[in-house]
Amino acid sequence: MRVLVVRTHPRAESFCSAITTAVQAGLDAAGHEHRLLDLYAEGFDPVLSVQEWEGHLSPPESKPQIEEHIRAIRWAEAIVFVHPTWWSGPPAMLRGWLQRVLVHGFAFSLRPNGGPIRGELKWIRRLAVVTTHGSPRWVNNIEGHVGRRQLLRGLRSICATTCRTWWVAMYKLDHSTQKQREDYLVKVEKTFADWEHRIVG
Amino acid sequence: MTALVVHAHPSAASLSRALRDAAIEGLEARGHEVIVHDLYADGFSPAMDAEERLAYDSDNPVVDPQVRTYADALKVVDTVVFVYPTWWWGLPAILKGWFDRVLVPGEALLLERNFGPPRPGLSNIKHVVGITTYGSNRLASRVMPDGGRRLIRRTMHFVGSPRLRTTWLPLYGVEATTAVEREAFIAKVRATTAGL
């Protein structure tokens, strides 16, 4: 299976890097091919411009600035998001990637009567979110798990109908011990090492 | 009374901009002094960078003068109005970045030494208003996650007054609305903010 790993963190030295490495090690163990898209390292601009907004219905081919990202998603069969959760959701950088890259004519099409969009990412059959939270789980319950819903319900709704989802979260990172962080890395690696090869889902 | 309007849309020709202007008119008619954070016009960069991420956990989390200006405004207002389009089940990236970079520990949140729950740092904020447009119609919007509303309400409850009130002004199926419907919504926004 071809897996696109999308990493969002401003610091190369962060725990997020160790997590990304664990994801890749797990995918290697299971024999999956993977590519890394590191949004900060690539200098991705998360802000949708006025030209992009005015041209939001023009064809994807007219948007060379996102062409390589579209190609990366077209190559993939699964997407794994690795990022810290800030204010219950993904960092602005990842929000911007979704908004600028999942364009009309590529990721979705519109229905004439203003009903729900028609999802077009039908080849994406697995979505995984691997994310840390500074605070405990109960805080995130209060905050409403915005990121989980946006990615594993919202984004999932435009992927394959049988798209499977994984949520591998660590809470209380701010007060964690070395052992707790290592245990989490082991859990992450195992999650992806267990990704069996299937035709569907 | 002082209100902050946080606006996130790239185009001055947008409905969002018209809603922002109506909100400001309503607040001023009510006698509020109004501060505006027009994130696009201000050239706000939503992505927290490495230096800021390191500073976040320190005693001085604010390193950028623009963030300093934005954070200072939050201390003097009693009302915050967010005006933005709902994109991909949530806030535009530039507005998410406002939350990421401006609501910092030691100011928006007061952390306890004993790892207990944080206390609000902006209990001067007593009212939050969300004014937003959705691509989906009302029925479709019910089924899908509303990350914008959820994030705004819960985050502002976290940092603001324990008796915080929120008012939500949505316009659904925006691409299918008529000019009459849009004008009516603009008028509703103006009347609501004038009545706060």
Tens of pLDDT, residues A97-108: 999 999 999 999
Chain A residues near residue B100 by CB distance under 8 angstroms: 86-87, 91-92
How many residues are present in chain B? Answer: 196
Is the Cα dihedral B56, B61, B67, B72 positive or negative? positive
Checking ipTM against 0.90, whether it exceeds it is: yes
Nearest partner of A27 among A128, A158, A109, judged by Cα:
A128
- Say which of B40, B92, B144 has its CB closest to residue A157: B144
pLDDT greater than 70 at residue B80? yes
Strands A2-7 and A33-38, by their bridges, are parallel
Q: How many CB atoms lie within 10 A of CB B139?
A: 11
Strands (E), B86-148: 109-110, 119-120, 127-133
Chain B residues near residue A146 by CB distance under 8 angstroms: 90, 145, 147, 150-151
pTM as predicted: 0.96
Query: For residue A175, what pLDDT is reported?
Result: 85
Are the C-beta atoms of A30 and A195 separated by less than 8 Å? yes
Express as a percent the part of chain A with pLDDT over 70.
Answer: 96
Query: For residue B136, what pLDDT is reported?
Result: 81
pLDDT, average across residues B88-109: 96
pLDDT, average across residues B131-135: 94
> CB distance B93–A175 less than 8 Å?
no
Strands (E), chain B: 2-7, 33-38, 79-85, 109-110, 119-120, 127-133, 165-171
> CB distance B158–A10 less than 8 Å?
no
- Residue B115 — pLDDT band, cuts 50, 70, 90? low
Identity of the amino acid at B66: Q
Q: Across all residues in chain A, what is the average pLDDT?
A: 93
- Residue A140 — pLDDT band, cuts 50, 70, 90? low
- Structure token digits, residue B152: 């705004």
Are the C-beta atoms of B179 and A116 separated by less than 8 Å? no
Cα–Cα distance measured from residue B19 to residue B37, given in angstroms and rounded to the nearest whole number:
14
Top mean-pLDDT range of A173-177, B18-22, B56-60? B18-22
Least confident range from A162-166, A181-185, B140-144, B146-150: namely: B140-144
> CB distance A154–B88 less than 8 Å?
yes
Cβ partners under 8 Å of residue B52, min gap 6: A10, B61, B63, B64, B101
Question: Which domains does chain A carry?
Answer: 2-193 (3.40.50.360)
Q: How far is A53 from chain B (nearest CA, A)?
A: 7
- Structure token digits, residue A160: 């394959």
pLDDT, average across residues B118-146: 88
DSSP, residue by residue, A130-190: EEEESS-HHHHHHHT-HHHHIIIIIGGGGB-TT-EEEEEEE--GGG--HHHHHHHHHHHHH
Query: For residue A142, what pLDDT is reported?
Result: 64
pLDDT greater than 90 at residue B148? yes
Query: For residue A116, what pLDDT is reported?
Result: 76
- Residue A152 — pLDDT band, cuts 50, 70, 90? very high
pLDDT, average across residues B55-81: 97
Q: Suggest the residue from B45, B49, B56, B88 to mutate for an interface test with chain A (most A CBs closer than 10 A).
A: B88
* A35-84 per-position pLDDT tens digit: 999 999 999 999 999 999 999 999 999 999 999 999 999 999 999 999 99
Cβ partners under 8 Å of residue B53, min gap 6: A9, A10, A11, A14
The residue that leads in pLDDT, B184 or B57, is B184
pLDDT greater than 90 at residue A179? yes
- Structure token digits, residue A85: 């959760």
Three-state DSSP at B64 gives coil
Nearest chain B residue to A93, by CA: B47
Nearest chain A residue to B89, by CA: A150
Cα–Cα distance measured from residue A44 to residue A41, given in angstroms and rounded to the nearest whole number:
8
Tell me how far CA of residue B72 lies from CA of A164, B103, B129, B148, in angstroms: 44, 11, 19, 23
Query: For residue A141, what pLDDT is reported?
Result: 66
Question: Which domains does chain B carry?
Answer: 2-194 (3.40.50.360)
pLDDT, average across residues A8-20: 95
